[in-house]
Every structure is written in C-alpha cells, then in structure tokens.
Amino acid sequence: MNIISIKSGKEKQIKNHHPWVFSGAIENIDCQSPCICNVVDYNNNFIAQGYYDKLSHIPIHLLSWNKNDVIDNSWWQNKVKEAILRRKEIMINTNNTNAFRLIFSEADFIPGIVADYYNGLIRVIISSRIAFEIKDIVVETLYKILKPNLVIINTDVNFCGVEGLKEVTLYYNETGYFTPDSKFEPIQFKEEGLLYEIIPGTGQKSGFFCDQRDNRVKIEKYCNNKVVLDGCSYTGGFTLHALKANAKSVDAFDSSNTALKSLLKNIHININNNVLDSSARDKVNTKVCNIFEEMRNIEKDYYDLMILDPPKLAKRKSQIDNASRAYKDLNRLAMEKIKNNGIIVTFSCSGGISLETFKTILSWAAIDNNIEIQILETLTAAADHPSRISFPESDYLCGYIIKVIK
C-alpha cells in the first residue's frame, strides 16, 4: 500500500477537498514516485487518494476522497464524460455558439488539463506532470464522445519549467496521433452569433478566450453611439460586440500585431456574412502598444466607454502586490481620462486577486482621482468555466462595469 502522511495541523484544507498538497505539508512518504497513493493524517486516518510525483512542483494532486474508488483508466474516462455532461445546457444551441470549454482542470477534477472546443477542433493544454501522464486517456475519450475533426495537444509553456516538461505539440484524429504534412486551414466558429477565425495550433492558450463570452454580451447595452476603447483587444471579442451594438467608433489596442490583424479579419468575416453592417470596418482603428504605457498618452474626455482586460499580472502569490499596483495604476489613469459619467469595464484574471480585492483596488484608484465610482455590474467567467468551491484558484476571472462620476 502506497501511503503518504500529512503533518499535524496541515490536514484541514486537504479534508475540505482542496486538491493540492505541497511538500511543506508532507510528514512521511512510504511509496515510490510516481504512483497513486493514500493520503493519511498524523493518526493514520484516511483522507484522500492522490497522485504523487516528487518531480512536480505540486507533489500530490488529490483525486478522490472515497477510499473505495479505483483510480484507473475507467475512472479517468468517467471524469471526462462527466465534465462534458455538465456542459450539456451550454452546448445545446450550436447554431448560435459552437465554441466552449470542455474541461477546466481541477475545477472539473482533472488536474492540469484544459480542453476547449471550436467547431470541430479541440485544443488540449497540459500544465502538470499528471496531466501529461493521463493525456492519452483524456484525448481518446474526448474523441470518442465528440468526434472532432482534429485534436491538438500542447504543453503549457508557462508550466514546463516548474514541472520539468518539454514544450511539445501533438496532433490526433481518427487515425490516432499523427504528424501533419502541411499547415492547417483556418477554422471559423460562432460565439453568440458572431463569427471568429482561428488557425489551429496558434494564438494564446487555446487560441481564444471563451471565459469572457457572457461579459462580451453584457457590454453591448453600453455601446450604442459611443466612442469605445478596447484596451487589450486580442482578436476582437469585445470589439465585435461593440460594433454589433452600434458603437460610434472603436479603438482596439493590443501588444500583438498578429492579434490585431486577426481582429480586422474577424470584422471582415462578419461583414461578408451580413452579421455586421458594412460600415463596421471604418469604425475601427487599431494600434500596437502596451496599454499600461499608452493610457498615459490618450486624450482626456474622449472615450465614453473603456474596456480593460489585461493579461494575467500575478501568476504566483509573490506577484500579487506588484500586480495590485499595476491594476490600480491602469484603472486610475482610465478614470482620469474617461468622460464624466463614462463607463469602464475592467477585469483581472489573476487568480490571487478576488472580487473584493479588485473592488478595493478600484476604490484606491478613485480616491487618488478624487472622484466617485458606481458599480453597475459584477462580472465573472462564463458557466463553462465553473468555480469549484473547494478550489478557490478556479475563481480567477473577476471584473466590474463601473460608472465614473467626476
């Protein structure tokens, strides 16, 4: 029997079903790495079953709190099936939306694996050693259930170093794993009736950010005849919804010229398919820039609506203080520059910054400007990115729609 015991006083979080055990909580190891093990408290009472790998920066990933579970291929297959079934309400209307998250790592009880679906393409992102170990089971199960045209599997470059993984890209279809002999054709997919295009295997993370789906719709009611800044536009999710809602103009800023080219292409795709009016392209200006620097240069009292969705600024707890200062500075400048009674839609995707913490950051920014702000709406990730209550790290995306009163 493989057994790992936990230090006295370190078992509470584990008993409450948090799925990670770090080395500082481990008292004794009686097993070989890697393996499935029983995790017990200091009195040798069973707590959970987990996967132990001494080379991982999270040495134990807890999997089941039922000692009778047999964690084998069938167990993992069931976890994949259950994750997909939990999304059946989201996946039911593919005429309007055919892009969504299928697996959200620990929030779906499958550590280190994220899988997104884009109209026949599945992108799988691997961020842990255990995820790499079970990838074949996960990919084969996804393929069996959904019959996609293609599955692309990537290791997450942000975790390869700490997990000791190589940066790899794998391809899977009805023949199994294969090596492509040419580039893939672009894939078009729908989200809330708007059309987007991705080239399989390219782009940040899985190529698109489905987590903002609901929030992109929510901003539409604030856009009619408004001058809009999409401050971290990427490939145009918020920009397209602003255009759909008859924005007067949209300035789309991003640090990636490639992303902005994709944004313009997405606009043309929607015009060509009569989803957007033919005037939409003329309403959009793009600029390659760093939003934290560019915000200092923009004209005061020009924008009616600003959308600020910067990349993750705190990847670790040690970075939260610096990230908080950066979020405050960005929002302080936005509040200074926007029109009186203007609207700011602002986000943090840093898991260590909660909604309450982010609200405090916004209040500091308002105090520095000697202004008032009203919170109109509170924003979180879409339902296919569920927050597991025992795993706060899954509650990573938070945002507010605020009105600035000067």
pLDDT tens sequence across 244-300: 999 999 999 999 999 999 999 999 999 999 999 999 999 999 999 999 999 999 999
Instruction: Give residue 24's pLDDT.
Output: 95
pLDDT at 202 over 70: no
pTM tops 0.75 = yes
Euclidean distance between the first and final Cα of the chain, in Å? 67
Cβ–Cβ under 8 Å, residues 404 and 340: yes
Q: Distance between CA atoms of 13 and 365, rounded to whole angstroms?
A: 34
Share the mean pLDDT of the chain.
Answer: 94
Q: Which residues contact 149 (CB under 8 A, 6 or more apart)?
A: 120, 121, 173
CA atoms within 13 A on the CB side of 355: 13
Lowest mean pLDDT among 25-34, 62-71, 86-95: 86-95
State the CATH architecture for 3-64.
Answer: Roll (2.30)
Instruction: Give residue 92's pLDDT.
Output: 86
Average pLDDT over every residue of 138-164: 96
Average pLDDT over every residue of 311-319: 74
Q: Which of 115, 205, 181, 106 is nearest to 151 (CA)?
A: 115
Instruction: Give residue 208's pLDDT.
Output: 86
Average pLDDT over every residue of 179-188: 91
Report CA-CA distances (Å) from 258 to 165, 184, 252, 312: 27, 17, 13, 19
Indicate the pLDDT class of residue 182, thresholds 50, 70 and 90.
confident
- Percent of the chain at pLDDT > 90 equals 88
pLDDT tens sequence across 47-82: 999 999 999 999 999 999 999 999 999 999 999 999
Instruction: Give residue 337's pLDDT.
Output: 97
Lowest mean pLDDT among 92-106, 116-130, 175-189, 303-317: 303-317
Q: Indicate the domain borders of the chain.
A: 3-64, 74-178, 209-405
**Which one is the CATH code of 74-178: 3.30.420.40, 3.40.50.300, 3.30.70.360, 3.30.750.80?**
3.30.750.80
pLDDT tens sequence across 99-148: 999 999 999 999 999 999 999 999 999 999 999 999 999 999 999 999 99
- Segment holding 180, helix H or strand E: none
Nearest-5° angle of CA 107, CA 108, CA 114? 85
Which CATH number is 209-405 given?
3.40.50.150
pLDDT tens sequence across 319-344: 788 888 999 999 999 999 999 999 99
Instruction: Give residue 312's pLDDT.
Output: 80
Indicate the pLDDT class of residue 204, thresholds 50, 70 and 90.
low
Instruction: Give residue 311's pLDDT.
Output: 83
